[in-house]
Amino acid sequence: MTSQDTATHALDEAVALEPIGENLFRGRTHPAYANMVGPFGGVTAAAMLGAVLRHPERHGDPIALTLNYAGPVAEGEFVIEARPARTNRSNQHWWLEMRQGEEVVTTATALTGLRRETWSETEATAPAVPAPEEVPPTGADRGVKWVENYDMRFVEGGWDRVTAGEEHPGSTTTMWIRDAPSRDLDHLSLTAMCDSFFPRAFLRLGRPVPAGTVTLTIHYLATADEIAAQGGEFLLGSVHSHRFHGSYHDESARLWGRDGRLLATGTQLMYFKS
């Protein structure tokens, strides 16, 4: 499958923003990315980052993004305020807020920066797994619309474990993933993929339960050129939790390019009921 013109891809429609004033952008939710309640959190994160990327005062490329999902995003229009809080020689700090009417639905901070050549080393290595062509794709029949936008191929801890109805001893899921239809990777699509793993509580309990992300932090470990070099290829993602307790559990994710480069990490805290 070849990459489509990004201007026609559903993801680009979902994160499209219109400048409406100083530091203000207007967008609209997209039915293709509907989740159990409101839109898929990854596409909300991508829209928030998109406001930074479109801002005329942006200095550098994304380095980090932290989102706090304050409340459900309703179907329809939203406004994002993106304001540079401080600009230094090598980095820039951002404050963001998504509103619908008078309600704040998401807040965020972001860090952009200029990357320079330095000593480089990667300690984390990608797990040894079969090539994506050797792993069958997973059906999109999982009760939510947004998964239809991804080609997911589970190597470990797949959706079949959730539907098995039996508790699973571990929380790790490893999978190949790319946009469907294929789309050249950029910071926006990488951001969304960092939130593409189903809740770890589903896997441990062997059944879906009410759950949702409360806060998500993404660290972009690759340069813009390294991200663009992935094209429309699969990424390899792996995620696990450290503890489930008192209605919350954490999730720690890593995403590698097919070339073995570690592109990004994601850490989030989820609320769940069981």
For the chain, list the domains and their CATH numbers. Answer: 6-113+141-272 (2.40.160.210)
Higher-confidence residue of 37 and 112: namely 112
pLDDT higher than threshold 50 for residue 236: yes
CB 160 within 8 A of CB 200: no
Q: Higher-confidence residue: 213 or 37?
A: 213
What is the DSSP code (8-state) at residue 34?
A: B
pLDDT-derived band at 139 (thresholds 50, 70, 90) equals confident
CA-to-CA distance for 105 and 233, rounded, in angstroms?
33
| Least confident stretch, 142-146, 203-207, 240-244 | 142-146
- Tokens standing for residue 82: 């993106």
7 compared with 53, residue with greater pLDDT: 53
pLDDT at residue 70 greater than cutoff 60: yes
Question: Which residue reads 């203000």 in tokens?
Answer: 24
Strand pairing partners for 150? Answer: 179
CB count within 10 Å of CB 136 equals 9
Confidence of residue 7 (pLDDT cuts 50, 70, 90): low
6: pLDDT strictly greater than 80:
no
Instruction: List residues bridging with 82 in a β-sheet.
Output: 96
Residue 111 makes CB contacts below 8 A (sequence gap 6+) with: 62, 63, 64, 65, 91, 92, 93, 94
Q: Provide the CB-side half-sphere exposure for 205 (13 A, CA).
A: 15
Q: What share of the chain is helix, strand, coil (3-state, %, to 5)?
A: 20, 40, 40
* Length, in residues, of the chain: 274
Residues 42 and 197: their CA atoms lie apart, in Å, by 10
User: Is 169's pLDDT higher than 90?
Assistant: yes
Q: What angle do CA 201, 204, 208 make, to 5 degrees?
A: 50
Quote the pLDDT of residue 5: 45
Of the chain, the percentage scoring pLDDT greater than 70 comes to 97
Residue 96's nearest CA partner among 49, 27, 46, 43 is 49
Which of 156, 170, 164 lies closest to 204, judged by CA? 170
Read off the pTM. Answer: 0.95
